[in-house]
Amino acid sequence: MQVLPAATNAKLKKRHYGLLTSFLLLVIAPLLAASIYLWVFASDQYASTTGFTIRQEEGGGTSSLLTGIAAFAGGGGTGAADADVLYEFIRSQEIVQIIDQRVNFDQIYATNWSQDPLFSLSPDSSIEDKLEYWQRMVRISYDQGTGLIELRVLAFTPDDARMVAREIVTESQEMINALNAVVREDTMRYAINDLEEALQRLKEARQALVQFRTETQIVDPEADIQGRMGVVNSLQQQLAQALIEHDLIAATVTRDDDPRLLQAARMILVIRQRIESERNTFVQSGVVAGGGDYPTLIADFENLMVEKEFAEETYSFALTAFELARSSAVRQSRYLTPYIRPTLAQSAEFPQRETIFVLLAFFLVLAWSIMALVYYSIRDRR
């Protein structure tokens, strides 16, 4: 039986030295540089926290009516919509420009640029750079379900952080005031327009009614018809009396050509012709001024009266809405309600050096491991 020689001691080869060198260069060196920067050069950052929400005025029927008018006019929105607008405003370039003019970003965020360029603002940065830096230093937490907005503002001193947070609250309040002004202006404008339209419609309805009465020379066709019906009723009573008299005379005379009997017959004939003539006036055309007939006259008059009553009701509602809108113009319907006032930090919590170091180490080791595996995979295929 042949005995194999004993294995020799393992020795480091060239590839092992290369792998170790790559680990030192790609993992250890960046971690060492990052730790030196984080614990030596990076400036402490202090956080100021504030939170607020938008509340709408709560009231009775007047507030509900005004809210309905504003919503119908398109000038108002719900509290959630206002919170959405405010959320986008805090992240916008406009608020960055406004607060930069008030507090001067360079004095707050660019003083440590020479020592800490990674976490500081460049002194010659543009407005776009300031917006990007603003979104790093101002973190917004917004719950659409409850409408609560919470901010965490970072700065290199506790006073600066709280000052910037207060400026954000102030600008947010001014934004809400602007929304209030827009709603009031829209509500008043639409209320005035509706009132003017209702007034013009009422004037036209009354003018049409006056023109109708002028052309027909009849103030109220129904009253006029009632008067004519009174004439017909009176004639019918006279006809009944004439018939009775005719019958009484016929019972006492002996000749058919008696003058009294002929006179009574003529009276009956005349009354009947008059009744027929009066009745024909209700359906014949040309019996009223303007050449119309009574059915058409009554239909036109009723249409004009309906239009007039509707115009009066519309004007009454428009006038009420205008008075309510004018009375609410001096009141504020939206309020910015802080539930956390800007806090003053006592210790620096940022940058989170340990967290940054651990995450950096994890990704560097992961990247180095993947590169090593790729290298050995290619080497084994040769």
The CATH number for 140's domain is 3.30.1890
- In terms of C-beta density within 10 A (0-12 exposed, 13-18 middle, 19 or more buried), how is residue 169 classed? middle
Residues 188 and 223 placed together within one structural domain of the fold: no
Q: Is residue 79 part of a domain?
A: yes
As a residue count, the chain comes to 382
370 domain residue, yes or no: no
| Spatial separation of the C-alpha atoms in residues 84 and 179, rounded to whole Å | 13
| Secondary structure (DSSP) of 219-234 | S-HHHHHHHHHHHHHH
Would 208 be classed as within a structural domain? no
Question: Which has the minimum average pLDDT: 79-83, 89-93, 269-273, 282-286?
Answer: 282-286
The CA-CA-CA angle for residues 10, 12, 13, to 5°, reads 115
- What pLDDT digit, counting tens, does each position of 47-104 carry? 999 999 888 765 544 444 544 544 444 444 455 678 888 899 999 999 999 999 988 8
The domain tally of the chain equals 2
> Does any domain span residue 206?
no
Q: Does residue 26 surpass a pLDDT of 80? A: yes
Tell me: do 172 and 233 sit in the same domain: no
For residues 45 and 119, what is the distance between their CA atoms, to the nearest angstrom?
A: 9
- Other beta carbons within 10 angstroms of residue 180's beta carbon come to 19
Fill in the amino acid letter for 348. Answer: A
110-155: pLDDT as tens digits? 888 888 898 999 888 899 999 999 999 999 999 888 889 999 999 9
**10 in a domain, yes or no?**
no
75 in the same domain as 165: yes
- Which range has highest mean pLDDT (171-180, 260-269, 336-345)? 336-345
86/226 same-domain check: no
Domain that holds residue 342: 42-194+329-358
Q: Does 328 score more than 50 pLDDT? A: yes
User: Which of the two residues, 18 and 13, has the higher pLDDT score?
Assistant: 18
Evaluate whether residue 179 is within a structural domain: yes
Q: 333 and 186 share a domain?
A: yes
DSSP class of residue 152? Answer: E
**Residues 224, 190 within the same domain:** no
| pLDDT at position 77 | 46
3-state SS assignment for residue 104: coil
Provide mean pLDDT across the span 11-23.
73
Percent of the chain with pLDDT over 70: 79
Q: Are 329 and 188 in contact (CB under 8 A)?
A: yes
Q: What is the C-alpha to C-alpha distance for residues 324 and 317, in angstroms, rounded to an integer? A: 11
Q: How confident is the model at residue 224 (pLDDT cuts 50, 70, 90)?
A: low
| Structure confidence at residue 158 as a pLDDT band (50, 70, 90) | very high
* pLDDT (0 to 100) of residue 287: 46
User: Would residue 101 count as lying in a domain?
Assistant: yes
Both 237 and 145 in one domain: the answer is no
CA gap 189, 170 in Å, rounded = 28
Residue 23 lies in a domain: no
221 and 303 both lie in a single domain: yes
- The whole-angstrom separation of Cα 278 and Cα 233 is 10
pLDDT at 5: 64
Kindly state whether residues 164 and 246 are assigned to the same domain.
Answer: no
If asked whether residues 294 and 306 sit together in one domain, one would say yes
Q: Quick one: residue 140, left, alpha or beta (phi over 0 = left, psi -120 to 50 = alpha)?
A: beta
Contacts of 320 (CB under 8 A, 6+ apart): none
Q: Which residues of 122-152 are buried (b: 16+ CB within 10 A; e: fewer)?
A: eeebeeeebbebbeebbebebeeeebbbbbb
Is there a single domain that holds both residue 177 and residue 229?
no
- Region 20-40: mean pLDDT is 91
Quick one: CA dihedral 99, 100, 101, 103, positive or negative?
A: positive
Q: Which two tokens stand for residue 359?
A: 């995450």
The reply to whether 72 and 189 lie within a common domain is yes
CB 182 within 8 A of CB 122: no
